[in-house]
Each structure stands twice: as structure tokens, then as C-alpha cells.
Amino acid sequence: MSSFTQRSARFGRRSARFARRLLLAAAAVAALVVVFLGALVLTDGAGSGLAAWLTTLGIGAAGALWRGRRRARTARLAAFLPLAVAAALTASVCIPTVPTSRQYPPALPFVAAQYWSLSTGSRVAVYHHPPANTGTRRTVPLVYLHGGPVRGISVLDHRFLQLLARQGYDVYAYEQAGGGRSDLLPMDQYTISRSVRDLAAFVDRLGKGKADILGFSSGAVVLTRALADPGVAARLNRAVIAEPGPMDGPTARVSGHKGRPSARGLAPAVPGPRSTRIPRYAVAFGLMRLGLLTPGTGLIGQAEGDNAFTAADLGGDTASAYCARDARRIPQEDTPQNFSFSPAASLRVQETIKDSPSVAPELRRSRVPAMLMIAECSSQIRQWATAVLRDDPAIRRTQFMRGVGHRMWNGLDDNNDRAAAVITAFLEGGPAPLPDHPTRDEIPGFLRDRE
């Protein structure tokens, strides 16, 4: 055998041994990462993940000592290399990269935030858009319940509320506890029942008698459940239920179809930084979404999670609120400075809805005049809206908004004006701009035809 052939064979054997060792080291690192994630779940992220990290370090050290026994000193040290790599990777999940105390959005330039302490103990940020000096002023105040559920009111929403104010409405909106500029609550106090009580307390604090309520998305859920509570419903004059989510546990478990195709998967990615590209928040939010960490996890605090979460993290959800035809012209819903979303508190509220019993028996006794608004390209399951229509006998009309997605007032074309026309016609007791569709009798056909 030639010397060249011998050298080639030796090189091949060394390469094979190196590749085998590299694969074994990579497998050891992967195994330690899995151990760390499992420990995170078992400890619910206790101590900012430090409990899981120390557990992983201990297991990894024991394994390295066992593998290095009866080996030369260099080999024993090499056995600790996978542990060092895994320790560095997992440590990145335990180190905050944003402030851990709440950083509230700066003041808006066009409307001042007031801060009201409600009888429930919530301290909420309140925005008042007074009626324009047009000569036509509505005597009943209009209160807006935003979607989220625990997030700030977007600039896009404020623009629509300003439009209603220009039409003579005395418009009030408040960011629900924990959202936007409102004070945080202890995690176990975020419940759908608390949201309903806050609404009642807000109307009382307003001190103007009964109020008209416009509830959108999760705000529409709060409104629907308020209608099912006689004590709260007594404070309401008229109710506009726009694109509601599931109103209770049985409704949340219903399977069904959504509206016409949305822009999800078609729209360009939302620009800007993403917290989910940072290991700590990718792991925390991912495991929370999977239900493997609780909303009150010790891995990241509520304030830290709020500070970390960005509008780009909601990119797909934002696109799903628009029709497919609008995928290339989705407006900026909010400014980076004003954007605020609490993923943990929102998840906690949603869990309390899913765990709640049916409110249909109480809703069937509702007497507050109500209107339901449904979008053509809705990202909501249709049965969520039709359940409200079926069970609330006081719904006087349903307006099916064509050409728009879940975000019905979005600043595109004449969508804001159309939504305002539908809302004002109902609140003023005027004729509906659109046909009443679907009616209760039309619900089976509406679902069958997958409108």
C-alpha cells in the first residue's frame, strides 16, 4: 500500500471519529436543552428559569463526570464541553433583555389619557372624544370596548371614534385593566367576569345614566356577557355587538368555518423587531401558547412580557383581520410607541371564557336593544356570532358588512363611513342602511352557504 493511500486511510478514520464525536456532542447538547425545557414546564419557569437551569446544569455535570471516568484528563475536560454549550444556550432564556417593570406608552398627541379608579379596584386609562360643535348632540354617551382582550386602543380605533364624535356622539373609551396605559392587575384577577364588572363600574363612574356600548371582538364578548347579567344590563341603553368572539365555554368549543378568505399568509410581513426572535421570549410565549406554562409563569413577569411584545409579533393575526383583496394595502393600525399588548393577561382572560358555563339561559332574558355586526371576511368562527343572534331575543337587526374583514373600520376606502352609518342608524332608531341579514331564521342557511 502506498504512503498516499495510508495517509488517506488515516485521514478518513480521523474524520470519521471526529464526525462521530461531533454528533455525540450535538446529541448531548440537544438532550440537555430538552431536559431544560422539561424542567421549565415542571417548575413553571420558577425564578426566571433559574430553577430549570440549575437542574439542567446538575444533570449535565453528573453525566459529564460519568462519561469522563477512567479517562485521561483532557478527555475528562472534553466531556464537559457539551454541558458548557448547553448552559450558555439555556442561560439566554433566563436573562431579561427588556425592563422588568412596566414601561407605559407615552401620551398621545391628539387625546389626553385620564386615569379613573373604579369601584372594582381597577385603575384604567380613559379617553374622551367630545361631540363636535355641529348642532347635533346625542344625549346618551357612547362607550367603546376595544378588542384584545388586554391591549391598548390603537390609533386606528381612535380615528374611528373621532369620526363618531364629529357626528355628535359623546364618546368615551377605556383600556381594560392591564392594557395600554391602564394599571396591571395580579394575574389571577384577569377574568371575563372582572371585565364585565369593570364595565358596570365604568358606566357608574361616568355618572351620565345609561350608556350606549359599542363592543368590538373581545370587547363584544364583554358586552354580550354584560347583557346576560341583569345588574349590568340595567346600566345599558343600546348595544352594538361587532364581530364577537366566543361568549362562553360551550361556544368556544364549537367548531365551524370562518368568513371569506382573509389576508393571512398573503400580506407582507409586518416590519419591525420581534420578541419571538429572542430566545427568552420565544420560549416563554411559545410554551404559554401551547399551555405548557401558565399565564402567571415565573419565567417572565407580566410587565416584562408586555414590554417585550411588539406589533410584528402579531403580524399574522393583524393580516387575518383584512380581506384577501387588501393584502397589499393593510394600513398601519398603530404606532410603535402606542402599541401595547399583554399576551399573558389576554391568555388568562381567554382561559376563563373557555372554562365558563353557558350564558345562553341568562342572555335569553335580555331586553336591551342590540345590533349584531358581522364582516364578510371575518377571521372569527361564524358560529360565535350566530350563537349570540340565536340566544339574544333583543337583537333587532344584523348588518352583514361586505368588503371588510374582522377589522371593519380600517381607514380603507369608505369602510369607516359605512361602519359609522350602520352604528348611528341603529343608535338613533333609524332605518338600517343594509338588509337585515342573517335573521334568526336564516342562520341555518347562512352557515350552510358558508357566507
DSSP code of residue 181: T
Is residue 128 within 8 A of residue 388, CB to CB? The reply is no
How far apart CA 180 and CA 176 sit, in angstroms, is 8
Residue type for position 148: G
Q: At what angle do helices 81-91 and 3-43 cross, to 10 degrees?
A: 40
Q: How far is CA 148 from CA 179, 216, 284, in A?
A: 9, 9, 19
pLDDT at residue 6, rounded to an integer: 53
For 358, half-sphere exposure in the C-beta direction (CA atoms, 13 angstrom radius) is 10
Is residue 99 within 8 A of residue 307, CB to CB? The reply is yes
How far apart CA 144 and CA 203 sit, in angstroms, is 11
Distance of CA 325 to the CA centre of its chain: 24
- Which H or E run includes 404? strand 395-405
User: Which CATH number describes the domain made up of 113-274+310-448?
Assistant: 3.40.50.1820
How far apart CA 169 and CA 166 sit, in angstroms, is 7
Residue (of 155, 153, 149) closest to 125 by Cα position: 153
Q: Which residues pair with 437 in a beta bridge?
A: none
pLDDT at residue 84, rounded to an integer: 86
The pTM score is: 0.91
The DSSP secondary structure of 63-92, one letter per residue, reads HHHHHTTTS-HHHHHHTTHHHHHHHHHHHT
pLDDT at residue 16, rounded to an integer: 53
Q: At what angle do helices 415-427 and 155-166 cross, to 10 degrees?
A: 50
How far apart CA 355 and CA 346 sit, in angstroms, is 14
* Tens of pLDDT, residues 122-175: 999 999 999 987 667 788 999 999 998 999 999 999 999 999 999 999 999 999
Q: Which residues pair with 171 in a beta bridge?
A: 129, 142
Is residue 83 within 8 A of residue 57, CB to CB? The reply is yes
How far apart CA 385 and CA 217 sit, in angstroms, is 10
pLDDT at residue 128, rounded to an integer: 97
Is residue 76 within 8 A of residue 68, CB to CB? The reply is yes
Q: Name 99's Cβ contacts closer than 8 Å, sequence gap at least 6.
A: 303, 304, 307
pLDDT at residue 23, rounded to an integer: 76
Residue (of 204, 225, 229, 211) closest to 117 by Cα position: 204
Q: Which three cell numbers stand for residue 366?
A: 335580555
Given a cut of 70, the residues of the chain with pLDDT beneath it are: 1-22, 24-25, 64, 66-79, 134-135
Is residue 108 within 8 A of residue 158, CB to CB? The reply is yes
SS3 116: strand
